[in-house]
Chain A
Amino acid sequence: MYTPLENLEEWKADALKALRQTLDRRSFMRQGLTALTGAAMYGTLLKCFAGTHVLADEPDVPKSAVKTGTFFFPRLKFDVLNAHSGWNVYPIADVILRRTLTKLTNINVSEEPVVVSLADMKSLVRYPFIFATDERRFRFPKNEEANLREFLLRGGFVYGDDCIHGRNKILFFEDYRRMMNRIWPDNPMRRVPDSHEIYHCYFDFPKGLPYLQGQDIGGWGTFDKQSGRLLTYVTPTDLHCGWTCRFFTPKLNEASIKMGINIIIYYLSH
């Protein structure tokens, strides 16, 4: 039943007084700014995923995916030569990729940020998937290289992405290749063909690795001689900067995230 307020003016005055007491001008400005920033970021993210079908065909997104297991997305901490190391550049990229994984796949992804080191084999073996990135030259100590070899042979997987020095220098990529060829001299890194499963296992990339910046020479990998499985995969196109959705066009940002998902699906299924 509707009951009209008799003292409406009095009620309005009380409400305004209570509002003034809880919200002064400074806090209003601060909260307003936060809300605007949030809205802007949300808008950017929305743009990231606003329908583009140029680089990859999107599969049906599961509405109520059942999730099992726990997938961690750890970063490899390492030193570069004659410079500040940049292994920890843009952690927001990992956050966005993890959240997108949760949203677009049924993989049970842990939100927990994890950092591992090749020197610490004990903690390394807890995370069979490792992400490594930088833009400088590097060379791991011998024991770390040995650990890396052991880690990969035990079934671990390292995904390396060159953060690109300048606009097109792929120093990290080159050193990564050099290192892998040192570890397996009789099984050098090869370009992963565009028909490889890594480009088709979830999202379809008919033209292979999407190019953002750096060198358009595709992704390279070391293949297991017995099973043909990729032991490690490295990209010279700054994919992870695409995940941040800050530096490239929405189309490229989206393609980079999709390619990131493909790499993880490939790892988990092979």
Chain B
Amino acid sequence: MFETLFKYPMKLFEEGTIRFSGPFQLELRIIGIIALALVVIWLYRRAPQRVKGGKKWSLAALRIIAVGLLLLILFPPVLETKETKTDDRFVAFLMDDSRSMTIEDASDGKTRLEAAVKVLAGKSGEGADGAFSSVSEVCGVRMFGFERELARIPDIGALKAEGDATDLYTAVRGVDEEMRGVPLAGVVLISDGNHNGRGDPLNAARLLAARGVPMYTVGLGDPTRVADREILAVQAPRTARRNANVDIVVTVSSHEYTDEFEVLLRKGDRTVATRVVTPASASDIQRVRIPLMLSKEGSHTYRVEIPPEQGEKIVDNNARDFRIRVKEHRLPVLYIEGSPRTEFRYVRGAMVKDKDFRIVSILRLGGDRYLVQGAETDPELLKGFPKTREKLFAYEAIIFGDIEAKEFSKEQLAMVEEFVRKRGGGFLMLGGVNSFNRGGFVGTPIEKLLPIRLASKSVRYDHREFRIKAATRGLTHAVMRQHDDPVTNNNIWNTVSPLIGRNPVKGLKPAATALMELLDTGEPVLAVQNYGSGRSAAFTTGGSWYWRMNRKIEDQLHDRFWKQLVRWLAVGSKPKLSIELSRDIVSLKEPLKIKATVLGKSLEPVNDAIVTAHVEDPFGNSEEVSLEWILTEDGVYSGRVRPREEGEFTVTVKADTGKDNAPLEAKVTFTVAQSPIEFSGAWQNEQQLKDLAELTGGKYYTEKDVANLAKDIREHIEKDVHRNQEYKARDLWDMPALFVILTVLLSIEWLFRRRSGLP
């Protein structure tokens, strides 16, 4: 009955307070009522005199009460009660959906994903005794899956553990944003804690902590490091020339396995090289150097792997893929020599036999007469060294034989310096009676290029024989590799026949590296350095031909040395359009950066080209990406693509540099494949999960004690009840009792008026 009349139960009226909620202030309301009362009184004072005073004022009082009540209804009145929120609060479940969840190191030999399902859905898998249903009894729940990105999932069945990364930062940050407008009671993170994304998860957790949202972390997987062998890293050049020798440096770790093991370099099903590693301790990390000869052009994918040990739990980290692009065009080399000499014959001969080189030689025969070989039809070369950038920059390496600086103009010497610094070409000066200090190069741009400090001009060419040794850093250098085995390589250089004649030098420049030294004094004989975008070398002898003549025909030391040296020098040379990808093997949905460098006719950077990249997926679908000029780098354009399929992608970059120039086009390929990073250091990162929980005021659980999760969340909500109370206002203007009273008052007043003869 009470509730019928007063709309709400009596208890609410006992606990709550009645207030007015309209826009008017209390004073205004009182003034309004008084003003209305005065108006009513004034009206009744003007009433006819036949109505007696007592009756008149009774009528006025009735009218004032009725109108006052009406005003009260209009203000309007509300019943305000203090209430605790419970069922409208939410808990977000963050489920790790990365590939590391497939590791079988959870309890009872289950995979981590199976353990996660068990935690959520309970032993039966039907959900009755799982954390998810337990928590959902206390409050609302939302479920998210995460790997590289965060996504809402409908149920546990949506988890596939196929993600190529575990990005806890993105996950926590994402849930904070997704649940920004929702009362969040807590976040439950179920993961192995192996964050391999970019940001720091603790920074993201601080945002939750600031909102007073605790993180309950459930750690899956074995937190102790299991016996495991792993490929930690592979270092390999991304591009190389055909027939180049390159080093693949593999970092391997071995934990709790003390027996020696093999590291295999494979290409498809074929094993290219094998190295045996002997762990020095029970937990050891070693670097293995595997030399590789690249004989075929094109893009090649190699795999480095350690055959799994019997019972090894984590085997997905035993292999890594890498890719090398082998350039197919012939390396153009320009070699200028001061006069016919034996060294010229043998240096040129080492490269002319090899189809990977296109050697153009200018041999000065005296006066203005030159013998040009390799480009006999070029009339400009018959007059000597090229005079224009366009001609000179067509080469990728320049060799100065025994020739003096006077042979060149100042502009030509400056061009050579620019050739190395800007174009990325290689420069080599050979020893001789007219080169280095004897050639008058002191004070010229060439002196800046050279990796050695020149002696004064008065120091003569030493015609005597001398013995050399490989410098410490030279032993492992690509130029000096004569044998895959470093010890054998060292022996080869230590027993190599003497050289004949050399230019004494003052010493090395600070950034240079000596590869070959005089046996007795340690003076550099062969030195190299990076210079700008390119490389330079100084070989201070003119008698290396003796290596060829003094070794058996099967021994290719001389030819191999020269080819390796020139290949190494020219490694930085840039074509007119070059493409650089941030990675050659990427994971699905991983952003890939495409950088293109556009050069003009004289290989000057072009900043106003229109550059587009066509990215074709394995199914032939093409996506066009516009590459924009990077303001900070001349001639460099950049764009991003996010591959959505697995397989081989082709990137074709086209650059339009203006009407006068032909459009440029270049192609590269990349592979979208599963990344091994998920299995690197894949034991449970317990500390990470504990830190997240501690920072936000939550708690860390294992599979064993996760049953307490729902209880803890409930306790947290209840403990936090004062923070979760809210005032609720209920309208009273439509309370039936008010209408009844108003009707009764107005009816009585009307009856009195009628009986008093008033209208």
Contact = CB atoms under 8 A, between A and B. Distances in A.
A26 interface: no
A96 B402 CA distance: 26
A107 to B, nearest CB: 5
Contacts of A229: 349
Contact of B550 (A67, A108, A125, A268): A125
Given A268-B341, A269-B340, A68 B549 contact: no
B344 A268 contact: yes
A215 interface: no
A106 B364 contact: yes
B433 interface: yes
Interface stretch (A27-35, A137-145, A149-157): A149-157
A66 B404 contact: yes
Contact of B339 (A106, A153, A267): A106
A125 B549 CA distance: 5
Contacts of B366: 60-62, 65, 105-106
Given A69-B542, A107-B339, A269 B344 contact: yes
A68 B367 contact: no
Interface in A200-259: 201-202, 226-227, 229
A69 B371 contact: no
A151 to B, nearest CB: 8
Contacts of B250: none
A60 B353 contact: no
Contacts of B363: 269
A68 B345 contact: no
Given A268-B340, A268-B342, A128 B549 contact: yes
Nearest to A229: B349
Contacts of A125: 546, 549-550
Interface in B337-379: 337-346, 348-349, 352-353, 361, 363-369, 371, 373
A69 B343 contact: yes
B659 interface: no
B349 to A, nearest CB: 6
Contacts of B553: 150, 153-154
Contacts of B371: 201, 265, 269
A66 to B, nearest CB: 6
Contact of A155 (B338, B344, B349): B349
Contact of B346 (A59, A60, A155): A155
Given A63-B367, A268-B344, A154 B551 contact: yes
A29 to B, nearest CB: 44
B339 A60 contact: no
B369 A128 contact: no
B434 interface: yes
A201 B370 CA distance: 10
A264 B433 CA distance: 20
A167 B439 CA distance: 51
Interface string B402-415: 11100000000000
A154 B346 CA distance: 10
B464 interface: no
A108 B367 contact: no
Nearest to A69: B341
Interface string A22-42: 000000000000000000000
B545 interface: yes
Contacts of B368: 60
A191 interface: no
Contacts of A70: 341, 463
Contacts of B193: none
A69 B432 contact: yes
Contacts of B546: 125-126
Contacts of A267: 345
A71 B342 contact: yes
B381 to A, nearest CB: 15
B152 interface: no
B552 interface: yes
A270 interface: yes
Of residues B348, B363, B365, B401, which shows the largest number of chain A Cβ atoms within 10 Å of its Cβ? B365
A108 B349 CA distance: 20
Interface string B51-87: 0000000000000000000000000000000000000
B548 interface: yes
A71 B343 CA distance: 11
A65 B345 contact: no
A118 to B, nearest CB: 14
Given A155-B346, A268-B344, A65 B339 contact: yes
Contacts of A106: 338-340, 364-366
B497 to A, nearest CB: 9
A227 B352 contact: yes
Contacts of B551: 154
Interface string A105-137: 111100000000000000001101000000000
Nearest to A125: B549
A59 B364 CA distance: 13
Contacts of A68: 337-339, 341, 401-403, 432-434, 542
A150 B554 CA distance: 10
A270 B346 CA distance: 8
Given A68-B542, A155-B548, A62 B369 contact: yes
Contacts of B364: 66, 106
A59 B382 CA distance: 14
A71 B341 contact: yes
Interface string A166-196: 0000000000000000000000000000000
Contact of A154 (B342, B432, B549): B549
Given A154-B553, A155-B549, A67 B339 contact: yes
Contacts of A126: 546, 549
A59 B369 contact: yes
Contacts of B549: 125-126, 128, 154-156
A108 to B, nearest CB: 7
Nearest to A227: B353
Interface in B672-706: none
Interface in B695-733: none
Contacts of B345: 128, 155, 267-270
A101 B344 CA distance: 18
Interface in B524-578: 542, 545-546, 548-553
A260 B369 CA distance: 19
Given A201-B371, A269-B371, 18 more contacts: A60-B368, A60-B369, A62-B367, A68-B341, A68-B401, A69-B433, A70-B463, A71-B340, A71-B342, A105-B365, A106-B365, A126-B546, A126-B549, A154-B551, A155-B549, A265-B371, A268-B341, A269-B344
29 contacts: A60-B366, A60-B367, A60-B368, A63-B367, A66-B338, A67-B339, A67-B433, A68-B337, A68-B401, A68-B432, A68-B434, A69-B402, A106-B339, A106-B366, A107-B339, A107-B340, A125-B546, A126-B549, A154-B551, A155-B345, A155-B545, A155-B549, A226-B353, A264-B340, A268-B341, A269-B344, A269-B371, A269-B373, A270-B349
Interface of A: 59-63, 65-71, 105-108, 125-126, 128, 150, 153-156, 201-202, 226-227, 229, 264-265, 267-270
Interface of B: 337-346, 348-349, 352-353, 361, 363-369, 371, 373, 401-404, 432-434, 463, 542, 545-546, 548-553
A-B pairs with lowest CB-CB distance, top 7:
A69-B341, A62-B366, A268-B340, A68-B402, A62-B367, A125-B549, A65-B366
